[in-house]
Each structure stands twice: as structure tokens, then as C-alpha cells.
Amino acid sequence: MANSPTGDTMAERIVRVLDTFGADRTIQTAAQIGRRSGLPSSTAHRIVDELVRAGLLERDEEHRVRLGMRLWELALRGSSALRLRQAALPWMTMVQARVREHTQLAVLELDEALFVERLSHPEAGANITRIAGRLPLHASSSGLVLLAYGPEELRRRVLGGPLVAVSAETITDGGELARVLDDIRRVGYVVAPGSIESVSTGIAVPIRDARGAVIAALSMVLPRDAPTAGPLDELRRASTGISAALSADRP
Ligand code: PHB
């Protein structure tokens, strides 16, 4: 693809424009996109116009820009996240009905836990997780499970630090983190009180595909001092059910 004077390809410039959108920044002006993408303003404006014409971005009445439904449609079509979510949803709904807190599903993506689904009871406690949002691997229950079963190379890199403290109780010591990850692989779950916010306890289990490889983490966010044994049983049962559903509809 044609390179710009700065050496990046057209695809890279489009990605830089799309990457300026975040979980906390869903609507922007074209000028803001230009600044945040680091592209020359005229280039950013032109790419925004073209993406709006293609339906990948949308403009509101005030001429501000957001990610378009067409982008959502294309991204979901045939994606592995959609298949996983479809297999998981009936089980997540059952866990949710019984425990009445937050139930969520995450995959490993670019060194972070990326959340593809979250169900919450209206009266459930605090939870900073968002669908299509990310949490650090070492500072969330889902992340710890994904890291425990993830590639050796990733584990070595993360254990090498720096391990940034998100809360006062985040594990920031590589040796301690290595022990926690060993424990997770031994017992098949994690209970992580206060690792991302002091008022909550995250609990998580792995989800395996038909070949037994861990492809996701199923977690709950509970109030800090809530009992964890019952919810963990629910998560384990759901994880087995989701794996069976994934194996059954193997293409
Ligand atoms: C966790 O997975 O450990 C977790 C996630 C979100 C929260 C609290 C805990 O708000």
C-alpha cells in the first residue's frame, strides 16, 4: 500500500485514526482526531471524511465523530469473540441469575485482558470492567488466569516488570506473581481480593477449547468480603458447559 511522506502506509494511517477512540473517548471532533493520531491535520480530516462515507465512522448533528455501526458489524462477523460469546452467554446468564453480581468474559489481547461480555445485576457492587474495555493482566482476576495459562514468553515478559500498582493490593513483585500464577495452574482458579480496587474481589476460572487450550477467562466481581466458594462452583460449572458448547459447534 502507498506510503505517506512520514513512511506509514494507508492502512497504518487508518488504524491511527481509529485508535484515537477509547472506552472513555467515544466521540471526538475531526480536529481532536487529527491531534491525537499524530497525523497532519489535512490527512486526518481526509481519512475521517472517507471513513464516514464508507460508514466506518458516523457524524452526529454537531459534526462530531464516533465509531460506526458498520465497523461493529464487520468486526463481529465471524469473529472468534462472537462464537465464544454465543457459547458463553447461556451459562453466564445462569451464573448471573444465581449469584446476582457481575459475570464477565475476557480474552487475551495484546498483553491485556479484553472483555467481550459483562452481565450485571442492577444492585451489584462496584465494577470497573467494560465490554470492549481492557484490564492489566497482573491486576485483575481474569488477567491473572489468562497470564497463568498464556504463552511462556508473555509470562516471562510480564514477570520481568514493571508491575504497575493499580491499587494498594496489586501484586507488584515478580516472585510473588510467579507463585500466584503457579497456584492458579495447580488449583484451576484465582481469588484476587482488592487487586484492582479495594472494595471488590475478583474470582476467575479458565475456559478451554475442544483441544484443551485455555482461550478465555470467566470471572465474577464480588463485594470485597462476600463468600467466594459458592460463586466459584458456579463459575467452574459454567466453564465446563461453555467448553462443551464450543466443542459441539466446532466448524
Ligand atoms: C477483577 O477481575 O479482579 C476485577 C475486575 C473489576 C473490578 C474489580 C475486580 O472492578
Within-domain flag for 212: yes
User: pLDDT tens per residue, the chain (251 residues)?
Assistant: 556 666 889 999 999 999 999 988 999 999 999 999 999 999 999 999 999 999 999 999 999 999 999 999 998 888 889 999 999 999 999 999 999 999 999 999 999 999 999 999 998 989 999 999 999 999 999 999 999 999 999 999 999 999 999 999 999 999 999 999 999 999 999 999 999 999 999 999 999 999 999 999 999 999 999 999 999 999 999 999 999 999 987 65
Q: Are 48 and 141 found together in one domain?
A: no
What is the pLDDT at residue 76?
Answer: 87
Residue type at position 195: S
- Domain termination residue (choose one: 22, 52, 74): 74
Domain that holds residue 184: 78-248
Contact call for residues 113 and 135 (beta carbons, < 8 A): yes
Dihedral pair phi/psi, residue 119, rounded to 5°:
-115, 135
Centroid of chain to Cα 120: 16
Q: Is residue 2 part of a domain?
A: no
Residues with CB under 6 A from ligand 1: 126-129, 135, 140-142, 192, 195-197, 200, 202, 219, 221
Cell of 207: 475456559
- β-bridge partners, 201: 193, 222
Ligand 1 centre from 113 Cα, in Å?
11
State the pLDDT at residue 250. 60
Please give the distance, rounded to the nearest whole angstrom, from the Cα atom of residue 178 to the centre of ligand 1: 20
* 1 found inside a domain: no
CATH number of the domain within which 170 lies: 3.30.450.40
As a whole number of angstroms, the distance between CA 149 and CA 66 comes to: 36
Among residues 31, 52, 74, which one ends one of the domains? 74
Q: Which three cell numbers stand for residue 97?
A: 441469575
Residues 107 and 182 in one domain: yes
Among residues 18, 49, 74, the one where a domain terminates is: 74
| pTM to 2 decimal places | 0.91
Cβ atoms 96, 122 nearer than 8 A: no
150 with 219, same domain: the answer is yes
Which atom of ligand 1 lies nearest, measured to the CA of 126? 10
**For residue 5, is it within any domain?**
no
Distance between Cα 189 and ligand 1 center (Å) = 14
pLDDT at position 130, please? 93
How many domains does the chain contain in total?
Answer: 2
Task: Give the CATH number for residue 44.
Answer: 1.10.10.10
